[in-house]
Structure 1
Amino acid sequence: MGSFMRRATGTLIIPVGVFAIVTALCAFNGVSLFSTGDSVLLLTRGMAITFLTAMALAINLNSGRFDFSLGSMATLSAVIGTTTTLATGGGFATMAVVTLVAGIVLGTISGLLYVLLRISPLVLSLGITLLYEGVAFTISGGANVSFMLRDDLTAFSKSPLNMLLVIGAALAFVYIAFDRSRFGFDYRALITGQNAAVASGAKERLNAIGTYAASGLLMSGVGLILASQIGYVAAGTLNFGTMGIMFTAFLPMFIGGYIGRFSNDKLGYLLGAFATTVISLSYTALGLTSSAQSITTALLLVLFLIFLSNEETLKAWLRILTGRKRPTDPEPLEPSSDDKPTADAVRLGGHHA
């Protein structure tokens, strides 16, 4: 029972604490966190986008591969999906299928390039970002791919139920793929001990390609939601302009990693997405400017990283403040005279007989 309570507390303390603090702060300023009819939609949609992005970033980062190309994959997959749909006269189902398949293909291409070129994943992801941005720019002619007058294509992101379905489907996918499959077993084994995992039969290269493909699928979901939300895809962005979306996932990813110690990291990323989305809603409710929002988010990220880096020290101070000092090791027993080594034994590196 004690172990369950500790795990439950560690899992829920951050999202529940953030919600309580933000709600109290809004009430103190005479505003409501859910003041409009769209508040639930904004919460669920923000959670979906943040969770998908944080998960896509984390699955490669946990393997030591930092991927800057997440935003470009979301943009290019959405461009491919929307242009195909508009050209063929299809509906939302066509746009969704083509966008998701395009995301898988783009992620697979990134994985193949990583495996074949054998260069730093960070450097490679910068090159892929420029490549995918350029392809999206070429397909769209440097203009936005717009479909604002197509209500059938924009209705998807206006339903909280649809966003909850996206969250549920994504959570089920990553849980089964990375926690309940041979692929996921090899993925975790390669993280903990690469040489041992390869020796036991794990396919390192195929696993890396599959991880990139999964990342592309998740980011194509982000591109689909964003495109449906605003009614167009901003495809005229070049020179790493698509990288901004990736940075929104850092705080929920680190929060999710912390929560994952007590439960499951996938659930942790979702709860981290909930906490950061609630914070974002409070920005709007409190009327903070965009610059103030950016500064506040950056400060929260820095403070949380400071907490993670000094967690044991903070726990030690908390024990002292609450009167629960860390147990000290027992004093070593003084050896008897018979057990003490002689001078000759010490000089020879052994004990006397």
Structure 2
Amino acid sequence: MNTNKGLEIFKKIGLSVIFPLLMFVVMLIITGTNEKCYVNGKLIFLSGDMVQQVFLNASMTICVALAIWIQLKNGRFDFSGGATMILTAIVAGHIGYDTKNPWLALIIAVVLAVVLSMFTATVYILGRIPIIICTIGMTLFYESLTYLVFGGQGIRVFYSSVETSVFGRLPGIFLPAGLAILAFVVFTYFTAAGRKGKILSNNQRAGVNIGINEKKNVFTTYIFSGIILGFAAIIYVSQHEVGPQSGLATSGIMFSYIVPVFMGTFIGLASCDVIGIAIAAIGMEIMNYGLNCLNLGAGGWQQIILGIFVLGFYSFSAQTDKIQALFARMKAGKAKA
């Protein structure tokens, strides 16, 4: 019994990590056959910088992807997450830089993100308006505040200070990223809202009719998404200068991280969604690093390549049932023979 369980766990781990391993092999072959990827005879794709950059970028991606997924899996598409993150980053960044205390900035980021998220949830519940309209309105409101706080200058020095940007570098970045994962796990497996979220995402009205308290679910979900966005904000401000935003630009920032969400939920079928999202984020960052080595990491070419890859991945995932059925028939045929 224990042996079978161990083999099952090993199989799930293997199926989960196959995506980043394949991505690494593919990018190694592509970069290895391109002269542009060599400096002084050495392949830059295999430099020590690769591991560092992959983990740095993947940590941010994981936090934002979990914040998006925690709402999607409860049947809500939240446009305001990016604005919450940017406004939080500006305020926490200023306070942290003025006090030269990154730990205070981390605490302020989490608290403020939760407060803003709870305000969004309150407007949604009391306003009785569709979630998309509500969150677009809240996005515009939070973006307008980025022009009002601290003279509309944003925060441009936090990330460049070694003293304050510890959570944007290794190993400090693992703390907010790990806590974001922990918050997601606690919500998903240890709260009623997390366990019942799948029912609401499939049919919100049916969920309410069978006794699920939607208001309580909304507030609980927004508390945890606020916590995760707070961790994402401290990483973001520790790696970038953050300026005021307008015209729903923050939604673009937020949803530029959405690809690992959908890829991760598919990969997570072999284990669980949080592991799938983390694995997808690492795989995507390996691809992005390879594209940077090829000088294709910015501009239109990156978007074209990413779009083709995502389309191919989704096309493959849509055929998984047929592929599984084919292998089942082949296995049954061998058994008869």
Rounded to whole Å, the distance in 2 between the matches of 1:96 and 1:290 is 32
The residue aligned with 1:83 is 94
Q: Secondary structure at the match of 1:144?
A: coil
The residue aligned with 1:134 is 144
Matched, 1:312 2:318: no
Rounded to whole Å, the distance in 2 between the matches of 1:163 and 1:240 is 28
Give 4+ residue runs of structure 1 displaced > 6 Å after superposition: none
What RMSD in Å do the two structures reach over aligned CA positions? 2.7
| Distance verdict in 2 for CA 1:23–1:40, change over 3 Å | same
| Aligned match for 1:263, one of 259, 271, 275 | 271
Gaps of at least 5 residues in structure 2 are 38-42
Matched, 1:294 2:300: no
The residue aligned with 2:54 is 43
Matched, 1:280 2:291: no
Letter in 2 for 1:312: D
| Aligned match for 1:154, one of 159, 165, 170 | 165
Rounded to whole Å, the distance in 2 between the matches of 1:155 and 1:4 is 35
The residue aligned with 2:330 is 324
| Aligned match for 1:52, one of 63, 74, 86 | 63
Identity across aligned pairs (percent)?
25
- Answer with 1 or 2: which has the greater Rg: 1
Cα deviation, 1:70-114, whole Å, max 9, x if unaligned, reads: 211110001121233455x35111111111111111111111122
Pick which of 141-150 and 1-10 moved more: 1-10
| Distance verdict in 2 for CA 1:144–1:24, change over 3 Å | same
Cα deviation, 1:19-72, whole Å, max 9, x if unaligned, reads: 222222222225346455543331111111111111111111112211122211
Letter in 2 for 1:274: I
Rounded to whole Å, the distance in 1 between the matches of 2:45 and 2:174 is 18
2:12–2:270 contact (8 Å) kept in structure 1: yes
Letter in 2 for 1:303: G
Cα deviation, 1:271-311, whole Å, max 9, x if unaligned, reads: 11111111111111111142111111122222222223333
What is the TM-score with the length of structure 2 in the denominator? Answer: 0.84
Letter in 2 for 1:76: L
The residue aligned with 2:18 is 13
What is the TM-score with the length of structure 1 in the denominator? Answer: 0.81
Matched, 1:104 2:104: no
Rounded to whole Å, the distance in 2 between the matches of 1:307 and 1:119 is 37
Structure 1 residue 136: deviation in Å? 1.3
The residue aligned with 2:249 is 241
Q: Secondary structure at the match of 1:126?
A: helix
Rounded to whole Å, the distance in 1 between the matches of 2:137 and 2:183 is 28
2:79–2:136 contact (8 Å) kept in structure 1: yes
1:82–1:145 contact (8 Å) kept in structure 2: yes
Rounded to whole Å, the distance in 1 between the matches of 2:309 and 2:34 is 20
1:227–1:233 contact (8 Å) kept in structure 2: yes
Matched, 1:208 2:218: yes
The residue aligned with 1:28 is 33
Rounded to whole Å, the distance in 1 between the matches of 2:74 and 2:44 is 37
